[in-house]
Amino acid sequence: MEFFKGIGKISYEGKESKNELSFKYYNPEEIVMGKPMKEHLKFAMSYWHTLTAGGNDQFGEGTIVREWDCLTPMERAKARVKAGFEFMEKLGIEYFCFHDRDIAPEAETLAEYQKNLDEIVDVIEIEMKRTGIKLLWGTSNMFSHPRFVHGAATSCNADVFAWSAAQVKKALEITKRLNGAGYVFWGGREGYETLLNTDMKLEMDNLARLLKMSKEYAKEIGFDGQFYIEPKPKEPTKHQYDFDSATVIGFLKTYGLDKDFKLNIEANHATLAGHTFQHELRLARINGMLGSVDANMGDMLLGWDTDQFPTNIYDAVLAMYEILKDGGFKTGGLNFDSKVRRASIDTDDLFYAYIAGMDTFAKGLRVAAKLIEDKVFENVVAQRYASYTTGIGKEIVENKVGLKELSDYALKLHGIENRSGRQERLETILNNYIFA
Ligand code: XUL
Ligand code: CO
């Protein structure tokens, strides 16, 4: 059965093409910096936003009706699998990501729910074999159900901690069964609303405990996929413990978990934290923890996570710049944690959305590669910090001097000369690379 009728395989036609259902920049097999674009970009479909989202928000019900909506819960879940794989095949997307709850309906008991999951995983496994599409990462939804009202691993209720552990255990087993390259922890409700009722120390210790147990269990079952934490500063809780890259890196180091995790950086989460997307990626990169990316964008005028498809070329260039400088994705990829707007109710809106995101990142990749090949920023940065390559600067970075030696040196200085940061010149150069 075909779900997306009337839409065939989307192919690369180049920027002159007038066919809206074609790629203008994403040419999967084209070689950029020694490898095909598709291997650089590793696009993934988010199961939740693509197959289960219905357009509902805090103020209104769902607006989007899909063909599978009229089916019974398990039949609907199976139809979604088929639709998802058809969608990915048509777009040439080779990876997907899911939460346990996205793929199968919850049931009265945990055991029944797990049975539902197994039944759907069977169908997913068949589709993966048929198409060659792979699992980028799996995760567990421990935020939607009312039981997580006080959090999951950080809940004040130990039964909820136990339930969360059971959910992660099963999600890890599924992810291993589907040969997932990674596993994500996004702490949806791992935060607080008020400190007046919160034992912050216990909550953070418990969060680390669950992560440790998960790592141990993964080892036990032979799952060697990469573990990630996805930072987000707020929403749904007022304060989320995984606030941003810097906070997560500090947290992991405090609990001795920094060798076991990398970061999954989401663009809209970066902006919610008051950072640029590039800032979050840079911080992860320089700490050797850049793992994967949730590609989307927020609306600068709205203070929440709008999860829009990324069409901002400036951000895409700078994100790809950081990813290329990190040597490219290893286990990670670009997961479109993005959803169509509530008013985008047609089925083909999904195709337009993904094409827009994929073309934006493809162009971003091309521009970033050219910037790196031409060493545009590298030369500028090298020159800017040249004072650390000789003389007193060299002694500083080689840890050969202390306050006394530096004071002796400074006392002999006759005025200090600084050079221009040349920001506007650099912004112009960057624009010219984009416009080219
Ligand atoms: C929520 C979010 C999640 C994670 C996976 O803001 O980004 O969908 O990516 O749980
Ligand atoms: Co995300």
> Over the stretch 292-304, which tens digit does the pLDDT of each residue have?
999 999 998 999 9
Cis peptide before 73 (omega within 30 of 0): no
261-266 and 226-229 strand pairing: parallel
> How does pLDDT run across 164-191, given as a tens digit for each residue?
999 999 999 999 999 999 999 999 999 9
**253 CA to middle of ligand 1, Å?**
23
* Ligand positioned closest to the Cα atom of 139: 1
State how far Cα 219 lies from the chain centre: 24
Percent of the chain with pLDDT over 70: 100
DSSP annotation of 310 reads P
State how far Cα 155 lies from the chain centre: 25
Task: Ligand 1 pocket test: pick from 47, 96, 139 the residue with the most ligand atoms within 8 Å of its Cβ.
Answer: 139
Who contacts 284 (Cβ-Cβ below 8 Å, separation ≥6)?
A: 245, 249, 262, 263, 265, 290, 291
Active site residues: 99, 102
Please report which confidence band the pLDDT of residue 353 belongs to, taking 50, 70 and 90 as the band edges.
Answer: very high
* Predicted local confidence at residue 52, as pLDDT: 97
Q: Is the CB of 305 under 6 A from ligand 1?
A: yes
**187 CA to middle of ligand 1, Å?**
8
* Predicted local confidence at residue 426, as pLDDT: 98
Closest protein CA for atom 10 of ligand 1: 186
Tokens of 54: 């219905």
Can you tell me the mean pLDDT for 359-385? 98
Backbone dihedral region of 401: left (phi > 0), alpha (psi from -120 to 50 degrees) or beta? beta
Query: Bridge partners of 226?
Result: 182
Q: How far apart are alpha carbons 296 and 141 in whole angstroms? A: 19
Can you tell me the mean pLDDT for 216-230? 98
Dihedral of CA 281/91/182/242: which sign? positive
**186 CA to middle of ligand 1, Å?**
6
User: With contact defined as beta carbons under 8 Å apart, do 182 and 291 qualify?
Assistant: yes
* Predicted local confidence at residue 6, as pLDDT: 95
* CB-neighbour burial class of residue 16 (10 A; exposed 0-12, middle 13-18, buried 19+): exposed
Closest protein CA for atom 5 of ligand 1: 186
Can you tell me the mean pLDDT for 403-421? 97
Percent of the chain with pLDDT over 90: 99
* Predicted local confidence at residue 138, as pLDDT: 99
Can you tell me the mean pLDDT for 60-74? 97
* Predicted local confidence at residue 201, as pLDDT: 98
* Predicted local confidence at residue 256, as pLDDT: 98
Q: Is the CB of 121 under 6 A from ligand 1?
A: no
Can you tell me the mean pLDDT for 272-298? 98
Q: Is the CB of 280 under 6 A from ligand 1?
A: no
Can you tell me the mean pLDDT for 245-254? 98
**122 CA to middle of ligand 1, Å?**
25
Closest protein CA for atom 8 of ligand 1: 337
* Predicted local confidence at residue 8, as pLDDT: 98
User: With contact defined as beta carbons under 8 Å apart, do 189 and 153 qualify?
Assistant: no
* Predicted local confidence at residue 176, as pLDDT: 98
User: With contact defined as beta carbons under 8 Å apart, do 245 and 231 qualify?
Assistant: yes
Closest protein CA for atom 4 of ligand 1: 186
* Predicted local confidence at residue 371, as pLDDT: 98
Residue 137, phi then psi, degrees to nearest 5 = -160, 155
Can you tell me the mean pLDDT for 92-107? 98
Please give the mean pLDDT across all residues of the chain: 98
Cα angle, residue 260 at apex, residues 256 and 261 outer, rounded to 5°: 105
